[in-house]
Amino acid sequence: MRLRIDPERCQGHARCFALAPDLFDIDDYGQSSVHSDGVVPADREDAARLAIANCPEFAIEALED
């Protein structure tokens, strides 16, 4: 699984970072980005799905391999 964040949609709610801090980076203005290249370790796919299902702006999407 690989995650992608749409920077136009992200409004800095930081819900993804609060729920899965190892999968996302966040800057001082709240903008989230995927950690490293967005590839989710197999044992963190549930956390990734949790982050997706908690984004109020529908800014995160999963690209299944």
The residues of the shown chain that bind another protein, judged by CB under 8 A, are: 11-15, 17-19, 26-30, 49-50, 53-58
Least Å distance between CB 18 and another protein? 6
For another protein, the closer of residues 2 and 57 by Cβ is 57
Maximal C-alpha separation, the chain: 32
Least Å distance between CB 52 and another protein? 9
Q: How far is CA 6 from CA 9, 24, 43, 44, 58, in A?
A: 5, 13, 24, 21, 9
Two tokens, residue 30: 């709240």
Least Å distance between CB 6 and another protein? 14
For another protein, the closer of residues 38 and 59 by Cβ is 59
β 60-63/32-34 pair status: unpaired
